[in-house]
Each structure stands twice: as C-alpha cells, then as structure tokens.
Amino acid sequence: MPLVNEDANPRVPYKHPMPQDALPDIVIPDALSENDPRMWVQQTETVFFRPLCLNVSQGYWMNLLKVTKAGVLSRHRHPNPVHGFVLKGRWHYLEHDWEAVEGSYVYEPPGETHTLRTAPNGG
C-alpha cells in the first residue's frame, strides 16, 4: 500500500503510528571503522568479517568482508542470494570472466558454486 501524504507540507515528519510489526531501524555510524577490532570476526589469518545485521526470523544477514592478502580464499556455495558491493580493492571468481572492482555491484544466485580470488594490490 503506498504511503499517502496527508500533510500539505511534505517537509513535515509523518505523525501517525508505525505498524505494530514494524522493526526498528538499524543505523551503524562509521561501519567501516577498524578502530575496534572486537567488531571484526577473524575467519582465517587474512579474512575478517563484520556482522551488520543478523535476521534470524527472515533468514538473512548482512556483513562487511575484509581480506588483507591476495590469493584464493575458498570455494563455496550460498543457499540464498548474495548482493555485494565492492568498497575497496578487486576480486573475481575463477569460474567467471568478470572482475568486481571498487564501486561494483555483484548479484550471486543461490546454489551457484564459485571460488573466490582476491587480486594483488588492494584485493
């Protein structure tokens, strides 16, 4: 159902109650900060991730991935779709001919098996 603007001035905040089942917003200031190493989970010697949202009831999660050394990370398969955005560096899958570079968006369909390789010099 589209939201109807009942106010004459669109700059006035919405004043009515939110739906009872609406979840609260998640805002993580400075999510890229590396100042607190407790925010990053070490997966291997060179791979870390930072959980941003773990939604158990709807079965999805969002995290940041940080890789500190170039090379093959792992062959893997995701049970759900993956949406990725490259903030820094570059990487590719050995099974594909494209490369994800800084600013790239990547969609991975569920069930695909691929081998992640980060590139030297910022991958």
User: Tens digit of pLDDT for each residue in 46-88?
Assistant: 999 999 999 988 888 999 999 999 999 889 998 889 999 999 9
Burial-class residue 74 by CB neighbours within 10 Å (0-12, 13-18, 19+).
exposed
Domain boundaries along the sequence of the chain: 40-118
pTM of the model: 0.77
CATH 2.40.50.100 fits 40-118, yes or no: no
Q: What dihedral do alpha carbons 64, 68, 70, 73 form, nearest 10°?
A: -50
Give, as one character, the DSSP assignment of residue 123: -
Backbone angles phi, psi at 90, to 5 degrees: -155, 155
